[in-house]
Structure 1
Amino acid sequence: MKALIIVADVSYKGEYSMAVQALRQLGMEVSTGLVSKSVNVNFDIDLTGGLSEGILSNYDAVIYIGGYWAYYASTGKEIPGRVKPMVNKEVFEEILTQSVNGGKTTILPLATPAYAAKLGLLKGKKATVYPTTDLITILRNNGVEYINDNFVIDGSIITLKKVTVESLTKALSK
């Protein structure tokens, strides 16, 4: 199996590295695609300039690493601090939409379920999210049933409250 990690922001400590570790532990071949020019990780695919046709056809699973950017982009709050990730939001949204609508195993940790909910991609689904009132409210206001579990699987969509190697490997083994 092949997995693609889409990286917008790695500011949430360990989110990216634990995802890579869990996917590799499951025997998956892992590739990384960047949608931000300010992220400093090894990558295979540069998506900062745009999305190439059929990019998802080579992958069985796609995980979205949004870091703090996903939280602030979901809530509309101003990102604090001097360094703001330079995320190609259009590419992030396009590949996320293709992933969900195409039935790919789509893994949304922390705040990314709220981001997907705002795009209308989780309407009528069950999901979890990093447990803050504003993120839970975004889910509910966008027709998503919030479930307070470590991970929730609804069809091909896996949402995670937090990223740990254990929770991700457990969710992907179901």
Structure 2
Amino acid sequence: MKALVIVADMSYEGEYSMAVQALRQLGMEVNSGLISKNANVNFDIDLTDKLGEDVLGGYDVVIFIGGYWAYYAVTGKEMPGRVKPMVNREAFEKLLTQSVSGGKKTILPLATPAYAAKLGLLRGKRATVYPTTDLIGILRGNGVDYVNEDFVIDGNVITLKRITVEFLTKALNK
């Protein structure tokens, strides 16, 4: 099996490395795709300019690493005192929509479930999210049944309130 890790922001400590570790522990071939011009990670695919291509075609699993950028982008709050990631938001949203709508096994940790909910991709589904009032409110306000669990699987979408190797491997083994 092949997995694609789409990276918007590396600012949340361990989010990327734990995802890659869990996927590799499950025996998956892992590629990384970069959706930000200033994320500091080794990558296989520059996704910032591949909007017209079917980059998800060869992958069984797609995981979206949003870091703090995803939280601030979805809540509309100003990111305090950090180097602001230069995320190609259009590409991020297009790939997220293609993955969820196209039936790919899509993994959304931390704030990315709220981002997907705001795009209407999780309406009528059960999901979890990093447990802040504003993120939970975004889920509920966009027709998502919020579940306070470590991870929630609904169809092809796996949402995680926190990302750990243990939670991710358990979710992918179900």
Cα shift at 1:54: 1.5
How do 1:107-122 and structure 2 match up within 5 A? Answer: 107-122=107-122
Q: 1:105-128 deviations in whole A, cap 9, x for unaligned? A: 000000000000000000000000
Aligned residue identity for 1:123: R
Partner residue of 1:73? 73
TM-score by length of 1: 0.99
Equivalence map 1:4-153=2 (5 Å): 4-153=4-153
Counterpart of 1:169 in structure 2 is: 169
Q: What's the CA shift string for 1:15-52, capped at 9, x where partnerless?
A: 00000000000000000000001101000000122324
Please, which moves more after superposition, 158-167 or 51-60?
Answer: 51-60
Please state whether the residue corresponding to 1:172 is helix, strand or coil.
Answer: helix
- Structure 1: which 5+ runs fail to align? none
- What is the identity, as a one-letter code, of the residue corresponding to 2:141? N
Amino acid paired to 1:122: L
- Corresponding letter in the other structure for 1:118: K
Deviations 1:126-169 (CA, angstroms, capped at 9, x unpaired): 00000000000000000000000000000000000000000000
Q: Which runs of 5+ in 2 are unaligned?
A: none
Greater than 6 Å deviation, 4+ residue runs: none
TM-score (norm 2): 0.99
- How far the C-alpha of 1:82 sits from its partner, in A, is 4.1
Q: How many residue pairs end up in the alignment?
A: 174
